[in-house]
Chains A and B, each alone.
Chain A
Amino acid sequence: MGTAIYVLTFGLLVVGIYAVVAKKNIIKIIVGLLIVDYAINMLLVLMGYRNGGGAPILVPGESQAQMTSSVDPLPQAMVLTSIVIGLGLTALMVAMAVRLYEKYGTFDMSRIRRLRG
């Protein structure tokens, strides 16, 4: 079951990369990048899980010793950073997509081709 979890996660990654490579529509490309982002974030979170572990947060009444069996906090901090990076990129991509639509009148990358190859 554990192997299936990781392989399915990479399956999600492949779906995202497929969208980025094979699709021509700008929105579909953005969607693909978002899916790639999800897949890698999910992989990090899953790699930090340990059986029976709870959230790495103390509630009043607990002592530090009770936290030593909880899940790994470091991947969570990394994923938090990665989510924020994804949000920033989404904002920038959306702005560029709007601007490209204004200039070219289409979302089709195969028609957005004014640069010589």
Chain B
Amino acid sequence: MTIELFVVAFIVFMLIAALIAVEARDLLSSVIAVGAAGFGLSVIDLLVGAPDLALTQVVVEVISLVLLIRVVLTRNDTSATEPQDALRTGVALLAGGIILVIVFFAVGGLSQQGGVPPFGQPVLSNTPQAAVPPGVSADYLARSADQTGAANAVTAVLLDFRAYDTLGEATIIFVSILGTYAVLRRLGRRGREARA
């Protein structure tokens, strides 16, 4: 129960940070607030037994914060003064409310039937005789060290059982860096001056 309290506390912290990030007048504080939300996420990762993710989240957060601050500082004036479209705001808020209501029922808000498994009791903790057996992760946990020789089951999943996904993941970083180079070319077409 204590873990749930901590998790809720940190999610509320993230929500507040996210709201500040979205509504702040100053872009620099907005970017820093979203960084704070990311660090909140890495603490949650630590709480729920995911140190791999906590580590990765922190370092990724540092890099993306540097990137974002760099783009904010492109302009000397860092305030956001764009007027907001009332219609789009209304539509967004309405849609958000509908999503939350649907989600409340989908996660079993009123009854425990028909929703996603409650927090702390995933399909993984089912008995093998249950209607939905524990799933593929039970096998990973039971045999990853014997089958792959790695002590870290997450790495075993990432680099042996599901290494093909990781190939895709490495490709994504490659593609996006290549895309960054492509977008940052000073001239896209030959023999034409860049238009401002």
Contact = CB atoms under 8 A, between A and B. Distances in A.
B137 A79 contact: no
A103 B196 contact: yes
Contacts, number: 300
A2 B4 contact: yes
Contacts of A64: 142-146
A27 B74 CA distance: 11
Contacts of B121: 50-51
A103 B183 CA distance: 12
Interface in A2-37: 2-19, 21-25, 27-28, 30-32, 34-35
Nearest to A14: B96
B131 interface: no
B166 interface: yes
Interface string A50-93: 11011111110000100110111110110111011111111110
B84 A22 contact: yes
B60 A86 contact: yes
Given A27-B68, A91-B177, A18 B96 contact: yes
Contacts of B119: 1-3, 5-6, 46, 49
Contacts of B187: none
Interface residues of A, number: 85
A7 B88 CA distance: 23
Contacts of B108: 3
A24 B117 CA distance: 38
A31 B145 contact: no
A41 B54 CA distance: 12
Given A34-B38, A50-B120, A5 B4 contact: yes
Nearest to B196: A103
Contact of A38 (B14, B99, B120, B168): B14
Nearest to A88: B176
Contact of B122 (A7, A14, A47, A77): A47
Nearest to A65: B142
A1 B22 contact: no
Nearest to A11: B15
B95 A17 contact: yes
A86 B176 CA distance: 10
Interface string B1-39: 100110110011011001101100001001100100110
Interface in B148-196: 151-154, 156-158, 162, 165-166, 168-169, 172-173, 175-177, 179-180, 183-184, 195-196
Nearest to B84: A22
A42 B41 contact: yes
Contacts of A50: 120-122, 124-125
Interface of A: 1-19, 21-25, 27-28, 30-32, 34-35, 38, 41-42, 45-51, 53-59, 64, 67-68, 70-74, 76-77, 79-81, 83-92, 94-99, 101-103, 105, 107-110
Across the A-B interface, the 3 shortest Cβ-Cβ residue pairs = A88-B176, A2-B119, A14-B96
